[in-house]
Amino acid sequence: MMFEGMKAYKTADGHVQLFRPDMNIARMVRTNERMCIPELPGDLFLAAVKAVIWEDRDWIPSSPGTALYIRPFIFGDEVSFSVLPAKHYRFMIILTPTGSYYAANDGGLSTTRIFVQDTYIRAARGGTGYAKVGGNYGGGMRASLDAMKYNCKDVLWLDAAENKYVEEIGTSNAFFRINDEVITAPLDSGTILPGITRNSVIQLLKKWGVKVSERKLSIDEIIAASKDGTLQEIFASGTAAVISPIGCLNYKGTDYKVADEKVGPVAQKLYDTIYGMQTGKVEDDMGWTYKLF
Amino acid sequence: MDYNFPVIRTTHPKPRPEDESKLGFAKYFTDHMFPTPPLRSSLPPVCCTTRR
C-alpha cells in the first residue's frame, strides 16, 4: 500500500488551493516504481483530487491552523496470499478536516519533546525509506510507544548502519540550527522521505540568505552543541504539521533543552511564510500554490 | 486529458464539526471519497497460489 499526503486550503477570498501538488505526483511516481504499483497518470491524480474536494468543499475549514487533509492511496486488491506484485490495484482518496498537528491552544506553534531512538531503526540503505509506504510507519509504532513513556510526542530516528547520524523526526523531516547553520539529513542514502515541506524549507532558507546544509549530522554533534550553547533550534517539517519546533530532546535518559523550550525565530518565520502562502495571506513569489477553484 | 468522473452523492450527509478549534487530526471524515475501479498492473502475469 502506498499513500500520499497533501492539504487543501481555503483562502480569504474564498478560493481553494493546493500546495505544490506536482511534488506529490512526482513522489507518487517514485513510490509506485519502488513498490511495483502500476503508473497512475499525474493528470488523473490531480483531476481526482479536484473532483472529490469539489463534492466536499463545504467541509474545508477556514480557522487559523486548519486545512482539509487529503489522503490518496493505492493498494493491491486481488485475493491472494502470494508474496508477489498484485495484478489489480485500487486508487482511492479520502478527506479529513484537520486542525494544527501539534498546536498551542491558540492555534499557533508550540514546542514538543522528542525521544532519540537508538534501539529501533526506521529505514536502511536499499530499503523503502524514500518511498511513502505504510510499512515505513507501521515499523515505527513500537518506537512511538516507547517515546510516550518518556512523555515525548515522537522519535528522532538515527541511521541504521551506525546508529549515529540523525535522519527523521517521526513522520517529518528534521532540521537543526547550530551556530547559524541549518542542517538536515541528505537524501542520497535513500532512507529519508523527500518531504515537500522539507524542499520548501531549504529553498526559502537559501532565498533568505540563511546557511543551509544537507549533510550527515551525528547525535554526538547535537549533544555537544547543546552543551556548549550553539544549538539554537530544532524543528520538524511535514505536510501535517507544516513546521513543528522541538523544545527538548531526550537521549539515553537525559533531557537536552533547546532554546529554553521556546519557539525559535527561524521555525516561526518558516511557518508564517509557508502557511501564509498556503492560505493566501502571504504572497506566493515561489509559484508553489495551485488554485483548484 | 479531461476526466468526467461519475458522481454518486450520499443521501445521508453527516453533520460537519461545528467547532474548528477541536478538529484535531484525522478525527472526522467527509461525506465522499474517490474510488477507482481496479487498475490493471502493467506487469506480466504471475503465478498465484490463490486465484479469484
Residue type, B11: T
Terminal CA-CA length for chain B: 33
Q: How many helices (H) and strands (E) does chain A have?
A: 7, 15
pLDDT in tens, B16-37: 999 998 999 999 999 999 998 7
* Interchain pair B3, A98: CB under 8 A: no
When CB atoms are compared, the residue of B22, B24, B36 closest to A91 is: B36
**What residue spans in chain A does CATH classification 3.30.470.10 cover?**
2-101+281-291
Dihedral of CA A206/A197/A8/B18: which sign?
Answer: negative
Q: Please report residues of A whose CB lies closer than 8 A to that of B30.
A: 56, 59, 68, 94-97
pLDDT in tens, A129-165: 999 999 999 989 999 999 999 999 999 999 999 999 9
Shortest CA distance from B25: residue in chain A: A98
CA distance linking residue B45 with residue B52, whole number of Å: 14
Instruction: Check residue A107 and give its pLDDT.
Output: 58
pLDDT in tens, A69-106: 999 999 998 888 888 999 889 999 999 999 876 655 55
The verdict on A102 touching B (C-beta cutoff 8 Å) is no
Query: What's the fold here for domain A2-101+281-291?
Result: D-amino Acid Aminotransferase; Chain A, domain 1 (3.30.470)
ipTM of the complex: 0.89
- Strands A289-291, A2-3: pairing is unpaired
Query: What's the fold here for domain A112-278?
Result: D-amino Acid Aminotransferase; Chain A, domain 2 (3.20.10)
CA distance linking residue B38 with residue A91, whole number of Å: 8
Number of A to B CB contacts under 8 A, please give it. Answer: 138
**What residue spans in chain A does CATH classification 3.20.10.10 cover?**
112-278
* Interchain pair B38, A82: CB under 8 A: no
The verdict on B12 touching A (C-beta cutoff 8 Å) is no
